[in-house]
Structure 1
Amino acid sequence: MSLMTLVGSITGHHDPDYYAGRADAHDEHTNGTTLTELAHRARLIADHHPSTQYALGYTDRLLELRREHTATIAAQTDLAHTGSAA
């Protein structure tokens, strides 16, 4: 038999809904949702979701994904232009 230990999470002073929004955006992107679709969903969530913190978390993760995508493209472009012309 095991007992469940309940411990408060360290949330960086954010509401748990904030992290739920981040997790949902991350999961959707991992499952193949494009950044354009995520941006559209973020706008809908901002307008219609009852939790502002959820909408902020979702949007924050979307912005991080965009920055990651942009950095990846820049690195790949740099590699393509500095490769040897063998």
Structure 2
Amino acid sequence: MSLLTLTTAITGNQDPDYYAGRADAHDEHTAGTTLPVLEHRAQLIADEHFSFPYAAGYWARVLEIRHEHAATITAQTHLAHTGAAA
């Protein structure tokens, strides 16, 4: 069973498809899809999807996930090398 991610119809003067793309990427990541698979899907969507805003929203969320992973790795590496407790 999956959960539906709801977004507002229009936020920040963007096309609703933009937010639909972001929601789909978020849902897939939350369901356990790995970052390399999300990036591959984003490339396919960018090449073949009929809606540019959808593809842009999907890519935007995938890039945010990549940045979140990088920040987590950086923080964990810093803690490992300094021995600082969180």
TM-score range, shorter chain: 0.7 to 0.9
Higher-Rg member (1/2): 1
> Matched residues in 1 for 2:77 and 2:41: separation?
29
Match of 2:49 in 1: 49
CA contact (8 A) 2:38 2:62 kept: yes
Count of matched residue positions in the alignment of Structure 1 and Structure 2 = 77
> Matched residues in 2 for 1:71 and 1:34: separation?
16
Match of 1:72 in 2: 72
Stretches of 4+ moved more than 4 A in 1?
A: none
How high is the TM-score relative to the length of structure 2? 0.85
Aligned letter for 2:75? A
> Matched residues in 1 for 2:63 and 2:47: separation?
18
Instruction: Name the SS of the counterpart of 2:25 in structure 1.
Output: helix
Q: Which structure's relative contact order is higher, taking Cα pairs within 8 Å and 6+ residues apart?
A: 1
Q: CA RMSD in A?
A: 1.4
Match of 1:82 in 2: 82
